[in-house]
Amino acid sequence: SKEGYPHFMLKEIHEQPLAINSTLAGIEEGAFNKVVNAILDSRKILIIGAGTSYHAGLVGDYLLTSMLGLDTHTLISSEYRKYLNAVNDGDTVIAISQSGETIDTLVAVRAFKERGAKIIAISNVIDSAIPRESNYVLYTRAGPEIGVAATKTFTTQLTVLTILALKIGVATGKLTTNEYRSAMDMIGKIPGLLQNVITKTEGKVKALSEHMSKKQSAYYLGRGIGVPLSMEGALKLKEIAYIHAEAYPAGESKHGPIALVEENYPVVFSILDDDNADAMLGNVMEMKARDAYIIGLVPDKYVGKFRELLNVTLEMPSIDYRVAPVIYIVPMQLLAYYTAVARGYDPDKPRNLAKTVTVE
């Protein structure tokens, strides 16, 4: 049941602190250890997924590549053929699918398995097709997700991927035991932080959605781990509010997309507490110079620096970039939700989309 919420999507957005807590409580050390060992034995890691699961994969890729220096490649499941020749015996493929049934991902799993790869599934549905055909499984414990647009399955996928990256980090010596412990402590704080962000931003986001509902197009910009985060934010707006939304790395504006920006064009910036904050300030200024309508998700410690340039400031906690996507996506989910409602659409049942696509 919707438990008093007007839509499943809103209920599921609000359930995320609980879903992450359940996922943390359900972590099976034995399963993680096997996965870590399989990854340590492989030369290359491929990550595959479709839609939101692909975006979770890109966040995981960022951690494995930039934090650990592992040879990681992330691809949309239906594009698996590009890598068939690049996979060697014993390489690992992480297949992400909340339903565990998406045909594109299943087909890719079968093809890579035939090439000798070991498959690690990350799924929310126990014993679904992809976990059944995989060598190892890590489950998210988000509970059933009814809304077609993935929300709590995404943030729990990110939780599992971040923990996996930390465990690989400590196993390879890239992270010290102390670094690992403090990062795990930080993950334990996510549910509380996320709850605060919902409480603090929901009213503001709802007011903003009235404005957004009249727009035809929007950009979502970030740098670093903020790029896949922005891709997921844009997908949410597109799939349920039917507003064209595009995400790209903020540094690319001047190489093309800024040509489209005119007065009041909406741009959503995800500014993180990382090495990119100064460069992001420059990117916000270049949009400001075109009189864009700028929405900024800003860590509290940088609010003073950015506020003047922003039309709407959504204050985020100043947190380690590695866990920022889990927190930052929530106001963007709410923005898509309230914009869809303001436009008169049912966010639970977007046109032309199905929760699980089982035919190619």
Q: Which stretches of the chain bind ligand BG6, using CB under 6 A?
A: 50-53, 97-99, 102, 105, 148-150, 353, 355-357
Q: How far is the CB of 54 from ligand BG6 (least distance, A)?
A: 8
Q: Which of 113, 200, 349, 355 is catalytic?
A: 355
Q: Which residue has the tokens 């890691």?
A: 45
Q: How far is the CB of 351 from ligand BG6 (least distance, A)?
A: 12
Q: How far is the CB of 50 from ligand BG6 (least distance, A)?
A: 4
Looking from the CA of 18 toward its CB, the CA atoms found within 13 Å total 7
Sheet containing strand 118-123, strands side by side: 72-76, 45-49, 92-97, 118-123, 136-139
CB 73 within 8 A of CB 44: yes
Q: Is 355 a catalytic residue?
A: yes
CA atoms of 146 and 144, how far apart (whole Å): 6
CA atoms of 108 and 233, how far apart (whole Å): 26
Q: Which residue has the tokens 């398995």?
A: 113
Tokens in use for 197?
A: 């962000």
Q: How far is the CB of 350 from ligand BG6 (least distance, A)?
A: 8
Main-chain phi, psi angles of 38, to 5 degrees? -60, -40
Helix axes 226-241, 51-62, angle to 10 degrees: 170
Measured CA distances, 259 to 35, 250, 256 (Å): 46, 14, 6
Residue closer to ligand BG6, measured from CB, 50 or 324: 50
Residue closer to ligand BG6, measured from CB, 27 or 357: 357
CA atoms of 209 and 230, how far apart (whole Å): 17
Angle ∠(26,31,34) on CA atoms, nearest 5: 160
Q: How far is the CB of 307 from ligand BG6 (least distance, A)?
A: 34
Catalytic residues: 355
